[in-house]
Copies of this chain bind each other. A is one copy, B any other.
Amino acid sequence: MLRKDRADKSAENLLLRYLQQDETVCEVAEIILRFFDTSSLAENEHLLEQGFICRKVAFVESGILMYYRTDQEGREVICDFAQERDWATQYKSFSTQTPSPFGIKALEKTTVKTLSIESLQALNKEFPEFEIFARKIIENEFFDSINKNTAFQTLNAEQRYEQFIAEFPGLIHRVPQYYIASYLGIAPQSLSRIRKKRSS
């Protein structure tokens, strides 16, 4: 997902500000927003089921989404989280319209603004700037992924946990710890151990 700061004043940022219910919003953002739908997910409800084709991009207004996949031994592995103001989609499945090995589900009641693939195409046609915006979202996912790799290569579990807390502030209190452990690539007991060590 993309965590977007609010420094710049570009068209894409106007959209973000609109999505975030900013008061001072320009007309363009309003028009763009007409391409989106709003929908609500109950806890444990899926935005995307494993094995299905991803047909939309989502912007999280409230709640938490979780990406997961199934490893070679059939275990569920948590790959990522998306919080308020993050974008969420399974890019490969969405862009190639092929079945997704990942599932995306809500960890609590979650409200999202979604953009179907058809709407995205229409939007790109009407607002070419939006295509650049969309590409940036994808690129940032890519960069996050690379940074995550470096973290695994160079940090131990405790350091990765520290980094997790910094990257997802507050999430530790909203997500079951065994999910976070999976995300960090460790056993739930190890996370418990790390937390005990840190709190003392």
Contacts and interface: CB of A to CB of B under 8 A. Distances in A.
Contacts of A139: 91-92, 95
B146 A79 contact: yes
Contacts of A143: 92
A153 B95 contact: no
Interface of A: 69, 71-73, 75, 77, 79, 91-92, 95, 138-139, 141-143, 145-146, 148-150, 152-154, 182-185
A185 B145 contact: no
A142 B73 CA distance: 24
6 contacts: A69-B150, A71-B154, A79-B149, A142-B142, A152-B152, A152-B185
A17 to B, nearest CB: 23
Contact of A71 (B75, B79, B150): B150
A75 B154 contact: yes
Contacts of A138: 142
A-B pairs with lowest CB-CB distance, top 10: A152-B152, A153-B185, A145-B145, A71-B154, A142-B142, A148-B149, A145-B146, A77-B153, A77-B154, A152-B185
Nearest to A67: B146
Nearest to A182: B153
A142 B95 CA distance: 13
Most chain B beta-carbon neighbours within 10 Å: one of A72, A142, A146, A150: A146
A16 to B, nearest CB: 19
B79 A150 contact: yes
Nearest to A78: B153
A65 B138 CA distance: 26
Most chain B beta-carbon neighbours within 10 Å: one of A71, A91, A149, A184: A149
